[in-house]
Chains A and B, each alone.
Chain A
């Protein structure tokens, strides 16, 4: 039991290490990693500026922009990763290794979170420096709690998606693309989800980023309370439930999909 646990922890760290090293290996890209994401989201800040909106809307955008980094990481480095691994020939190795595939997925998530956090934190820091976004630092402990729960449920969702993407063929690329703008809209990355109306916002709450972002905004921008969809406590409770459901579902799904993939020979099929 303990031996098995140690093996899985080692597998998890081993898979995460590739991403830690990946970040260190490309040190000369870090300035780009830090500066570029801000360029993309600043368009929305300037739109709010042209509409003479108060600076708290800039904070909305900056927090949304940092959350986008995680969503993109989930889509391109979690959900479609098993598909890429199959294409590069690593996937069968993952499945014949004595550890659980879940520990490899968790390792991927841990490595992904580490690499993406550089980008996400830099968006916030640069937002503070360049756009002087107002942030209520006293709300930081609440924000950290909301943030951690959001990441757990988001990466749980990512692990679920990676199993689904494993079955898809070449169209995995399209699926990832399709999950960008719709999620940006329903998660309210650039505006509060309350604007979508109660029913749409309720459905959108199934995406952890929606409630996570809403609760982050509530804790870091007290003036945003009138734009909040639900109270902070309710959002945290829902995020806890979503975390459990998504992680549990991902464990179940990966087993089922592995069976199908083994039976249909999809673990080794390339270029389809």
Chain B
């Protein structure tokens, strides 16, 4: 019971900090702007290249980006939580020494951020529908949303483990890993377009299959990895999520111990 309570309060705190104490409806207004313009950028790029002839590719790109948004939003939120709490709000230590494990509080906080990722994701899909996408949402879509959230938490914990020892470098960590992951996960283009060595990495990257499964749950046909059935992708994706979260928790617990010993929890940088 106490764990649920702590998760809940961390969730509320995460949401409050992420929204900078803005009214929820104002904050949701902010959340609408970025996806609208993000979708418009993709549209203009496709329109510039092919006019309205490549709309299938456009909707395919939007689906990938919508799903990736949940994963990236949750995981980056976790790194910024540590960075901002330590460098900016100076609340990392009070939060750390308050009752309950640090891990629970960080997970709760990231869920507060993850909610905004889910909202943005659904909004991108809604915009795609408005623009004429013919996605057929299957029940497995909601299963995938949950998996993306869990994977986002797991991946975020791995990143957060490193960010405990970083100052300004946390920004590079987020930008680097998320951009690299986006590139090799088939979010906006098929991995076959990548150079050979990156293709090899892309096809052993479990997130590629998670994105593909998510796309199929929206009724989209595959542009690649056609030989793997949708049922098998469901199991692969579950395995990916469970593995990511297990590795994430283990890494975070080890890093927390080392950070405490090294005094990294109080390290501040700003220029």
Contacts and interface: CB of A to CB of B under 8 A. Distances in A.
Contact of B21 (A18, A36, A46, A170): A170
A1 B175 CA distance: 46
Given A33-B172, A42-B183, A185-B40, A51 B88 contact: no
A47 B45 contact: yes
Given A33-B172, A170-B21, A177-B34, A44 B180 contact: no
The secondary-structure label for the interface of chain B is helix
B197 interface: no
B194 A185 contact: no
B236 interface: no
Given A44-B45, A47-B61, A185-B44, A178 B189 contact: no
Nearest to A272: B21
Interface residues of A, number: 43
Interface in B46-66: 46-50, 54, 57, 61
Contact of A190 (B33, B45, B180): B45
B186 to A, nearest CB: 10
A243 interface: no
B176 A39 contact: yes
B48 A195 contact: yes
Contacts of A269: none
B271 interface: yes
Contact of A181 (B38, B172, B187): B38
A251 interface: no
B169 interface: yes
Contacts of A50: 57, 189-190, 193
Interface of A: 18-19, 21-22, 25-26, 29, 32-33, 35-36, 39-40, 42-44, 46-51, 53, 57, 84, 87-88, 170-171, 173-174, 177-178, 180-182, 184-185, 190-192, 195-196
11 contacts: A18-B271, A29-B168, A39-B180, A40-B179, A51-B46, A53-B49, A177-B30, A181-B41, A190-B44, A192-B48, A195-B44
